[in-house]
Amino acid sequence: MTEERHIFSVLVENRFGVLARIAGLFSGRGFNIDSLNVAETDDPDVSHMTIVTHGDTQIIEQIYKHLNKLIDVIKVTDLTVENHVEREIVLIKVYAEPQRRGEILQIMEIFRAHTIDVSPDSLIIEVTGDEGKLKAVVDLLRPYGIQELVRTGKIAIMRGAAK
């Protein structure tokens, strides 16, 4: 069976130990986590997790069912099969000597990226977008020399009215 990437949106009780339960479920059963993002929702009692994982159909079904089985999990949605948007922020510290800064700023403009820090020979750039856009930016900046790169992991939300 072919492996597919899936994004799970998981609402959980904002309680001690919930993250460990989710992480333990994945490690204990040998499921993969590609990225995991956790934060409070509008309701402080509820946290939202975006989990990006991959596996064949049977594995994905098992992940879905096992997430649902955890007592602290309120709702699980496989966003991959829904109409959704996904975003990720990446912070890139790139070498930028004064004579090359102009080129870099041009690239940034195309991708609507921001400069958030400048030092004599480097810039810190913030870019938001989906996977394709972030890959394009990183690929274009790589020749200048990337010193450090940090990503938030994906967050995702379903389009349209809440179901």
72 belongs to the binding site for another protein (CB under 8 A): yes
When binding is defined by CB under 8 A, the residue of 5, 65, 114, 142 that contacts another protein is: 65
Contact region with another protein (CB under 8 A), list: 30-38, 69-77, 87-95, 115-123: 69-77
44 belongs to the binding site for another protein (CB under 8 A): no
78 belongs to the binding site for another protein (CB under 8 A): no
Q: What is the DSSP letter of 60?
A: H
**Contacts with 151 (C-beta within 8 Å, 6 or more apart), sequence order:** 35, 88, 89, 90, 91, 134
Burial of 86 (0-12, 13-18, 19+ CB in 10 A): middle
* 46/15 Cα distance (integer angstroms): 8
43 belongs to the binding site for another protein (CB under 8 A): no
Instruction: Return residues touching another protein (CB under 8 A).
Output: 12-13, 16-17, 20-21, 24, 28, 58, 61-62, 65-66, 68-69, 71-74
